[in-house]
Protein backbone atom coordinates (compact mmCIF):
# COMPACT_ATOMS: atom_id res chain seq x y z
CA UNK A 1 0.00 0.00 0.00
CA UNK A 2 1.25 3.47 -0.79
CA UNK A 3 0.35 6.72 0.85
CA UNK A 4 0.49 10.34 -0.14
CA UNK A 5 1.83 13.04 2.17
CA UNK A 6 1.37 16.73 1.47
CA UNK A 7 3.82 18.99 3.26
CA UNK A 8 3.83 22.74 3.31
CA UNK A 9 6.99 24.67 2.52
CA UNK A 10 6.45 26.45 5.84
CA UNK A 11 6.65 23.15 7.73
CA UNK A 12 9.77 22.12 5.82
CA UNK A 13 11.43 25.51 6.36
CA UNK A 14 10.82 25.34 10.12
CA UNK A 15 12.01 21.76 10.36
CA UNK A 16 15.23 22.47 8.47
CA UNK A 17 15.94 25.68 10.40
CA UNK A 18 15.44 23.98 13.77
CA UNK A 19 17.45 20.86 12.90
CA UNK A 20 20.32 22.96 11.54
CA UNK A 21 20.21 25.37 14.51
CA UNK A 22 19.91 28.21 12.00
CA UNK A 23 20.54 31.77 13.14
CA UNK A 24 17.44 32.99 11.33
CA UNK A 25 14.38 31.81 9.43
CA UNK A 26 12.80 34.31 7.05
CA UNK A 27 9.32 33.85 5.63
CA UNK A 28 8.97 36.03 2.52
CA UNK A 29 5.50 37.43 1.88
CA UNK A 30 3.80 39.71 -0.63
CA UNK A 31 3.41 42.32 2.13
CA UNK A 32 5.81 43.79 4.71
CA UNK A 33 4.89 41.31 7.43
CA UNK A 34 1.93 40.39 9.61
CA UNK A 35 -0.81 42.99 9.97
CA UNK A 36 -3.67 43.57 12.37
CA UNK A 37 -6.03 43.21 9.39
CA UNK A 38 -5.71 42.31 5.71
CA UNK A 39 -3.59 45.16 4.29
CA UNK A 40 -4.96 44.50 0.79
CA UNK A 41 -8.51 45.35 1.84
CA UNK A 42 -8.32 47.44 5.02
CA UNK A 43 -6.86 50.94 5.20
CA UNK A 44 -6.79 50.49 9.00
CA UNK A 45 -4.33 47.57 8.84
CA UNK A 46 -1.22 48.14 10.95
CA UNK A 47 2.06 46.25 10.69
CA UNK A 48 2.78 44.15 13.77
CA UNK A 49 6.50 44.63 14.49
CA UNK A 50 6.77 42.00 17.24
CA UNK A 51 4.40 39.06 17.01
CA UNK A 52 3.51 37.16 20.19
CA UNK A 53 1.69 33.84 20.48
CA UNK A 54 -1.48 35.61 21.67
CA UNK A 55 -1.48 37.97 18.68
CA UNK A 56 -0.75 35.10 16.27
CA UNK A 57 -3.65 33.08 17.65
CA UNK A 58 -5.97 36.07 17.30
CA UNK A 59 -4.93 36.65 13.68
CA UNK A 60 -4.73 33.02 12.61
CA UNK A 61 -7.69 31.89 14.68
CA UNK A 62 -10.99 31.69 12.81
CA UNK A 63 -11.60 30.51 9.30
CA UNK A 64 -8.60 30.18 7.07
CA UNK A 65 -10.55 29.01 4.04
CA UNK A 66 -9.88 25.87 2.06
CA UNK A 67 -6.11 26.22 1.73
CA UNK A 68 -4.55 22.76 2.24
CA UNK A 69 -1.28 24.40 3.26
CA UNK A 70 -2.99 26.35 6.05
CA UNK A 71 -2.50 29.85 4.64
CA UNK A 72 -1.33 32.49 7.13
CA UNK A 73 -2.47 30.33 10.05
CA UNK A 74 0.03 27.56 9.32
CA UNK A 75 2.78 30.08 8.56
CA UNK A 76 2.25 31.68 11.99
CA UNK A 77 2.17 28.30 13.75
CA UNK A 78 5.45 27.27 12.13
CA UNK A 79 7.04 30.67 12.79
CA UNK A 80 6.15 30.39 16.49
CA UNK A 81 7.43 26.81 16.68
CA UNK A 82 10.77 27.86 15.19
CA UNK A 83 11.05 30.87 17.51
CA UNK A 84 10.26 28.71 20.54
CA UNK A 85 13.06 26.34 19.43
CA UNK A 86 15.54 29.23 19.52
CA UNK A 87 15.57 30.37 15.89
CA UNK A 88 15.20 34.10 15.17
CA UNK A 89 12.14 34.38 12.89
CA UNK A 90 11.08 37.24 10.63
CA UNK A 91 8.20 37.63 8.18
CA UNK A 92 8.16 40.31 5.50
CA UNK A 93 8.73 41.44 1.96
CA UNK A 94 11.82 41.03 -0.21
CA UNK A 95 12.72 44.71 0.24
CA UNK A 96 13.58 44.01 3.88
CA UNK A 97 15.46 40.74 3.28
CA UNK A 98 18.87 42.01 4.44
CA UNK A 99 17.41 43.54 7.61
CA UNK A 100 15.44 40.36 8.36
CA UNK A 101 18.42 38.05 7.86
CA UNK A 102 20.70 40.22 10.02
CA UNK A 103 18.06 41.08 12.64
CA UNK A 104 18.27 44.81 11.92
CA UNK A 105 15.45 47.32 12.38
CA UNK A 106 13.06 47.55 9.46
CA UNK A 107 9.48 47.35 8.26
CA UNK A 108 8.79 43.67 8.90
CA UNK A 109 7.52 41.38 11.66
CA UNK A 110 9.76 39.61 14.20
CA UNK A 111 8.35 36.65 16.13
CA UNK A 112 8.65 36.70 19.92
CA UNK A 113 8.94 33.20 21.45
**1 or 80: which carries more pLDDT confidence?**
80
Helix crossing, 9-19 with 71-84: angle to 10°? 10
Question: Domain segments of the chain: what residues?
Answer: 9-111
| Residues 11-41: tens digit of each pLDDT | 999 999 999 999 999 999 999 999 988 888 8
pLDDT of 3 over the 90 cut? no
Round to whole Å and give the CA distance between 8 and 98. Answer: 24
**Which range (69-73, 94-98, 100-104) has the least confidence?**
69-73
pLDDT of 62 over the 60 cut? no
pLDDT of 64 over the 60 cut? no
- What pTM was estimated for this model as a whole? 0.84
CATH number for the region 9-111 comes to 3.40.1160.10
Amino acid sequence: ASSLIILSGDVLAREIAVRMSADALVFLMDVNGVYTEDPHSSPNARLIRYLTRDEAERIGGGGVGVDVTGGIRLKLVEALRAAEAGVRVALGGIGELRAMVLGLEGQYTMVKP
